[in-house]
């Protein structure tokens, strides 16, 4: 049960890293949470690191007798759903770059929106 809560939090964090810039339009203070989350998520993917939530989940799965897995959260939960088998480091690096570029585009829009509203 606790492992499932960690999985949900983990997935929410990933969604926030991808789409959180859009929330900044409404709640400006979220920029201070979103930018570090995006950088962290990008580094995890591009450098092949394991997110600290993965070992926590594995530990909880072991105590919940739910079984553990090897590798990272993305490889275990997201990749089988979205990406074809055979994920390479190049694809992971590309995913990280896309995350950064997507957020550069979103923050360009956010900046323009803030500027327009400031000038009114």
The pLDDT tens digits for 40-56 are 989 988 888 888 888 88
96/90 Cα distance (integer angstroms): 10
Whole-model pTM? 0.73
Residues 6+ apart with CB under 8 A from 33: 16, 20
Q: Is the dihedral of CA 9, 30, 109, 107 positive or negative?
A: negative
On the question of pLDDT at 70 being above 90, the answer is: no
Residue with tokens 């990749």: 79
On the question of pLDDT at 67 being above 80, the answer is: no
69/78 Cα distance (integer angstroms): 14
Task: Enumerate the domain spans of the chain.
Answer: 2-119
The pLDDT tens digits for 91-117 are 888 988 999 999 999 999 888 888 888
Q: What is the average pLDDT across 23-29? A: 89
> Residue 37: which of 20, 59, 60, 54 has the closest Cα?
20
């Amino acid at each position: 049960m606790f492992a499932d809560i960690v999985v949900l939090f983990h997935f929410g964090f990933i969604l926030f890293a991808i789409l959180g810039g859009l929330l900044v339009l409404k709640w400006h203070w979220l920029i201070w949470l979103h930018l570090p989350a995006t950088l962290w998520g990008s580094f995890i993917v591009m450098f092949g690191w394991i997110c600290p939530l993965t070992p926590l989940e594995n530990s909880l799965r072991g105590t919940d007798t739910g079984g553990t897995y090897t590798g990272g959260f993305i490889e275990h939960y997201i990749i089988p759903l979205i990406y074809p088998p055979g994920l390479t480091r190049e694809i992971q690096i590309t995913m990280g770059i896309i995350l950064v570029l997507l957020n550069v585009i979103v923050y360009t829009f956010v900046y323009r929106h803030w500027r327009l509203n400031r000038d009114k």
